[in-house]
Structure 1
Amino acid sequence: MSENILVIGSGDQHFRDYALRGLAERHRVLLIAQTPLAWQAPYVADHREVELKDRAQVLAAARELAALHDVAGVLTWDEMQVRVAAEVGAELGVATMPVEAARACRDKARQRERFRATGVASARYELAGSEAEAAAAAETIGYPVVLKPRGQAASIAVRIVRSEAELRETFALVRDAENPSIEDGLVLVEEFLAGPEIAVDSWVLDGKVVPFSISAKRTGYPPYFEEVAHVVGKVLDARTEAAVREVVIAANEALGIDRAVTHTELMLTADGPKVVEVNGRLGGDLIPHLAEIAAPGLSIGGVLGAVATGREPGPMPEPDRLVGIRFLYPAADLTFDDIEVPAGLADEPWVHEVRRVSEPGTELRLPPRQFLGRAGFVIATGDSVSDVDERLLALADKVTLAGTPLGDQNR
């Protein structure tokens, strides 16, 4: 009989259906979620609806489910639940990510401390609680610097600043965008790492770190780092990939991570790969699903379930194609209606998918008025990284976002 795995937070259907479905094909899923079952229903054996921001409610629901079912593993792919999932595992006596490692994954300053102590290549940094402290830190590090919330995800409110004036204009916005889990009000002031940005998904079990997917990230809306596109597959030459794998393994080991699938972000600097951060959960933005498309036979749900229950996943299939995703943003702030796709475009052999992810009537604004204000996305394949990039841009350009402009662009 299939083992029971407790999942905390299902995420959005558009971005996590593949993970829950793949997990349910191999295990019985016990779900703790924010809302009643909807799209999750075919995949879930038992369910509790709670306020996920309330740790006590999550723990109570976990105890209730554990009293009814033998829980073999606990996992989450929700960034905000990484620490709670580790605490639930400890509470139930189920091996999962160590709580201290989960805390480090949720606080980028803790990560920087561990990296510095263990010699993992990363950015120089300081913590600042005021504009004056941030300005002093920037002078020490040297402009340009990056201001960053410590507990957010998806590059939300991360900004490059090139002068003290820009820093003082930006500091309050970055601090106010912080996740409530960070209570001390301190903002990261970091060295700006120049170079291409990549991300690596790995499984980690019993001291073994195995990278299985590498993606190239594209950002937009400078001076912010909004994540607008990703390309997955063989995106690096063999020498660079070997160096990246070495740093990824060292970074995961430095944080004491175990029983997890992680998402490590790096910059390919002139001095070699340097870690931006390690996320203690599966990558977002459909990156792992792109890895499934790039490497037929790969099941992300299978990897998640194996690691959660203490088994090494089988050999990871090598990617045999390149696939990318680009998110659709309005040209200006608008009340969104729908996505209009030219006739025949979706039938092109290199077009994998065009999807709407925002509901009609949603107000979409551009950074910094809103982060991740996406109407939908396009997915395409290609013969090279540049080919995929060009096709994604052309595809996004041909798709029209219908809607009504918002009068106040600065609200």
Structure 2
Amino acid sequence: MLRRSAHCLVEGKQLLLIGAGGVSKKFVWEAARDYGLKLHLVESDPNHFASQLVQTFIHFDVTEHRRDEENARLLAELVRARGLQLDGCFSYWDDCLVLTALLCQELGLPCSPPAAMRLAKQKSCTQLHLLRCHGPPWPAPSVHAVPCCPLESEADVEKAVHQVPLPGVMKLEFGAGAVGVRLVEDAPQCHEHFSQIARDLQGEADHPGIGLGWGNAMLLMEFIEGTEHDVDLVLFGGRLLAAFVSDNGPTRLPGFTETAACMPTGLAPEQEAQLVQAAFRCCLGCGLLDGVFNVELKLTGAGPKLIEINPRMGGFYLRDWILELYGVDLLLAAAMVACGLRPALPTHPRARGHLVGVMCLVSQHLQVLSSTASRETLQALHDQGLLRLNWLEEVLVPGEYEEPYCSVACAGSSPAEARLRLLGLCQGLGIDGPHYPVAHFLSHFK
């Protein structure tokens, strides 16, 4: 009922979308058609398949983010020159979030402030800003922030290893998809990883879509022990309308590429509430008041600790899972907020079952993805309802700095049922093995 009423509210709305994204965002175009949204697209790739699926296609290079302010003014002029009468403007693509906020400001459209988007996008700035937010209100965001140091030179690395407790985590300031994120045990490892990233990931062409258009600066932050969780939030006017918590499995250290996930969370209600409030307060602390946001946290013995804020709709499988389990479409919610409309969402949504999933990586599964777990086989199993499949990449190209190729999940009436189904499926397809122990990755999901 709520989705039907939302459908009526957005039908015919004119929305400017900044950045089309890749194969993992193919659902956007079908959903927009079903909701009756009129999309106008700004995209760097003149041959992107989505150029044929929108009302207006504006080819514009948005990859050089150090020119975002200038580009926002140029895009505003293009929008006016084309006579577009827009109801809203939004993005779900990491690289385009700051530009989108600046463009909304130029056009007088609803959005969180550009300063808030910048703060959330630059990971060390997020943590250092929140460390200074001592309240009120309480508990203050500072209790969730983690000590860190920005790194732009070898001298910064040398200084940071004396300020941040080791082991620590090194990551790209503007990175995405856990690319280049690594556990570092001591000072030599810090210097080695900094040098390697500086050599291998210098600009957008080295790995498109992970924020290298802002440069390849890094940060060193304290490594936090605890279980990892995602909180996907819908905020409107600084009010929390809905939150969805999922659990992540242990990663393959020293890397942090996601391995497995479970939704809804298996945490006790009071722990779930702690995570939701921590995510909400961290967003407000950064000035994020309107939008759909994804917040990554760890639950520790001292409470929730912030990993990072992604000031956009959760990626990978999250929109699909939340829609399946709760009947809430984060894409629709994001579109409504972008139009200045308050989404009507269930106050206490209850999941219609459980989903447990595992990621497939080209580096670990190239052979099975070309045979027993081929694209055709996985798609057929999905079509038969035996698994839930989300494609995240299009080509089987192994590389040192990789992102997951696809997510394979199973549903169940309980976490145990979903977990056992998935483990059996992974064993049968060859996804599970000594090099990729699926049972271990699912061990957190009780």
What is the TM-score when the length of structure 2 is the normalising length? 0.79
Q: Is the 8 A contact 1:351 1:379 kept in 2?
A: yes
User: What residue number does 2:171 align with?
Assistant: 148
Tell me which amino acid in the other structure corresponds to 2:345. P
Going from structure 1 to structure 2, the CA distance change for 1:324 and 1:169 (only over 3 Å counts) comes to: same
SS where residue 282 of structure 1 aligns? coil
Q: Call closer, same or farther: CA 1:164–1:73 in 2, change over 3 Å.
A: same
Q: Which structure's residues are more often strand, by fraction? A: 1
Which SS does the other structure have where 1:226 is aligned?
A: coil
Q: What does the per-residue CA deviation read over 1:52-73, in whole Å, with 9 as the maximum and x for residues that have no partner?
A: 2155566544533344221111
- The verdict on how the C-alpha distance between 1:235 and 1:43 changes in structure 2, with shifts beyond 3 A counting, is farther
Q: Which residue of 2 aligns with 1:192?
A: 223
CA distance change for structure 1 residues 379 and 92 in 2, over 3 Å: closer, same or farther? same
Partner of 2:331: 301
Separation of aligned partners in 2, 1:155 and 1:35: 24
Partner of 1:398: 428
Deviations 1:238-278 (A, max 9, x none): 11111111111110101101332111110001101111111
Residue type of the alignment partner of 1:191: E
What is the identity, as a one-letter code, of the residue corresponding to 1:87? L
Paired AA for residue 310 in structure 1: G
38-47 or 158-167, larger mean C-alpha shift: 38-47
Match of 2:124 among 92, 95, 109: 109
| 1:306-357 deviation line (CA, Å, top 9, x unaligned) | 1111121112343221113322224658697564349996587652337584
Partner in structure 2 of residue 352 of structure 1: 388
Change over 3 Å in CA distance of 1:332–1:229 after alignment to 2: closer
| The 10-residue stretch of structure 1 (343-352 or 56-65) with the greater mean CA deviation from structure 2 | 343-352
CA separation in 1, counterparts of 2:350 and 2:244? 9
Contact 2:133 2:285 in 1 (8 A): yes
Quote the Cα distance in structure 1 between the aligned partners of 2:264 and 2:332.
19
Identify the residue that residue 195 of structure 2 maps to in structure 1: 172
Letter in 2 for 1:28: K
The letter for the 2-side match of 1:381 is A
Q: Residues of 2 paired with 1:126 and 1:17: CA distance?
A: 37
Aligned alpha-carbon RMSD (Å): 2.9
- Deviation per residue, 1:214-237 (Å, 9 max, x gap): 111235332010123322224322
The range that moved more, 123-132 or 235-244, is: 123-132
Is 1:4–1:27's contact at 8 Å kept on the other side of the alignment?
A: yes
CA contact (8 A) 2:94 2:312 kept: yes
Letter in 2 for 1:221: R
Contiguous gaps of at least 5 residues in structure 2: 1-10, 135-140, 203-210, 432-446
When residues 291 and 356 of structure 1 are mapped into structure 2, their CA distance, relative to the original with a 3 A threshold, is closer
How far 1:128 sits from its partner (Å)? 3.2
Range moving further from structure 2, 299-308 or 50-59:
50-59
Which one-letter code corresponds to 1:324 in the other structure? Answer: V
Correspondence for 1:89 among 104, 113, 120: 104
> Helix, strand or coil: the match of 1:363?
coil
- The correspondence for 2:20, drawn from 4, 10, 22, is 10
User: Are 1:65 and 2:83 matched, yes or no?
Assistant: no
| Paired residue secondary structure (1:358) | coil
What is the distance in 2 between the residues matched to 1:271 and 1:109?
Answer: 21
Looking at structure 1, the residues matched to 167 and 118 of structure 2 have their Cα atoms a distance apart, in angstroms, of 29
Equivalent position to 1:75, from 80, 90, 110: 90
- Shift of the 58–364 alpha-carbon distance from structure 1 to 2, 3 Å rule, reads farther
TM superposition shift of 1:48:
1.5
CA contact (8 A) 1:219 1:226 kept: no
Deviation at 1:282, TM superposition (A): 0.7
Name the TM-score, length of structure 1 as normaliser.
0.85
Distance 1:122 1:218 in 2: 22
Q: Distance in 2 between matches of 1:97 and 1:189?
A: 28
Counterpart of 1:236? 267
Q: Structure 1 CA distance, aligned partners of 2:31 and 2:384?
A: 28
Rate the CA distance shift 1:214–1:50 in 2: closer, same or farther, 3 A: same
Task: Say which of 369, 384, 397 aligns to 1:363.
Answer: 397
The 2-side partners of 1:146 and 1:152 are apart by 13
- Partner-residue secondary structure (3-state), 1:118: coil
Q: CA deviation at 1:174?
A: 4.0
- Stretches of structure 1 that go unaligned for 5 or more consecutive residues are 402-411
Letter of the structure 2 residue corresponding to residue 155 of structure 1: A
Deviates more, 1:283-292 or 1:297-306: 297-306
Which 10-residue stretch deviates more, 158-167 or 82-91? Answer: 158-167
User: What SS does structure 1 have at the residue aligned with 2:266?
Assistant: coil
- Judged with a 3 Å threshold, the aligned counterparts in structure 2 of structure 1 residues 115 and 385 are, in CA distance, closer, same or farther, namely farther
Alpha carbons 1:294, 1:319 under 8 Å: kept: yes
Q: Distance in 2 between matches of 1:235 and 1:39?
A: 39
